[in-house]
Amino acid sequence: MSEVDKLWELQTVLTALNEREKQMSVKPESFAAVDREFQAANEEMTRLQTQIDALAKERRRVDGELSDQQETLKKYQGQLMQVKNQQQYAAAWKEIDATRKHVKDLEESVLKNMTETDGLQQQLDAHKGGHDALQARYDEAHSEWQHSLSDLRAEAEKLRARAEQIEAAIPERLRNEFHKIYRQRQQVAVARVNTDTCSACRTRVRPAVAQQLKRGELVHCEGCHRILYLERPAS
């Protein structure tokens, strides 16, 4: 196997490895779709629960105020029994009226709070009802994805080992040259020649260069400076 052949094989293995790594870094659409649905349902349930909690807190505050006002009302009603003149009587009644009105407002606010809480609770219950089925679909899609990842990981591991093996058989100077071009040229250091053209940059290969390629010599593309590879019949 010539040095160019080894470099070409290294390029092929690294390209396949990059492809696996790219596949591993993205969620497959089959999982992404159920993941979006699952996250949206969870967010909606959290949102409903937060609203219900806020209403419950408000309810406790209103209940406290309501019982204070009811106490106050009793106090004024007691005073009413002890008034000594018309003026005190009128003043006590004025307080009682104002307090009754306040109590009524608070009771209405409790009713409104209960109605809102019921509505939100119904929505939350509906979500919870469908949640087990959604969770099951999510778990299944997730485990399928993880399974496909473990296949990809195993393939990537083999390719990495193969790349190391090939590199060990390439002289250091050439290996360094390969990696320099690989880094600088979008991870393609070796480009295949198809019908006398560099497949990476479309530059024509001059006949003299084509002759060198046919002899298995290491030549660079005059357009992109990548190492050129021409598939030759096995000799």
Retrieve residue 41's tokens: 């349902």
Q: Which residues bind Zn ion (CB under 5 A)?
A: 198, 200-201, 203, 221, 223-224
Residue with smaller CB distance to Zn ion, 23 or 203:
203
Question: Please, what is the minimum distance in Å from the beta carbon of residue 202 to Zn ion?
Answer: 7
Q: Beta strands 190-194 and 227-229: pairing type?
A: parallel
Question: Please, what is the minimum distance in Å from the beta carbon of residue 221 to Zn ion?
Answer: 3
Residues 201 and 224 sit within 8 Å (Cβ to Cβ): yes
- How far apart are alpha carbons 125 and 114 in whole angstroms? 16
Residue with smaller CB distance to Zn ion, 137 or 220:
220
- How far apart are alpha carbons 232 and 52 in whole angstroms? 74
Q: Quick one: three-class SS letters along 77-91? A: HHHHHCCCCHHHHHH
Question: Please, what is the minimum distance in Å from the beta carbon of residue 212 to Zn ion?
Answer: 15
The answer for residues whose C-beta is within 8 angstroms of residue 136's C-beta and 6 or more apart is: none
- How far apart are alpha carbons 48 and 221 in whole angstroms? 64
Residues 209 and 222 sit within 8 Å (Cβ to Cβ): yes
Residue with smaller CB distance to Zn ion, 13 or 198:
198
Question: Please, what is the minimum distance in Å from the beta carbon of residue 171 to Zn ion?
Answer: 23
Query: 161 by DSSP, 3-state: which?
Result: helix
Residue with smaller CB distance to Zn ion, 76 or 229:
229
- How far apart are alpha carbons 117 and 204 in whole angstroms? 75
Question: Please, what is the minimum distance in Å from the beta carbon of residue 186 to Zn ion?
Answer: 12
Residues 226 and 189 sit within 8 Å (Cβ to Cβ): yes
Residue with smaller CB distance to Zn ion, 34 or 221:
221
Residue with smaller CB distance to Zn ion, 216 or 223:
223
Question: Please, what is the minimum distance in Å from the beta carbon of residue 208 to Zn ion?
Answer: 16
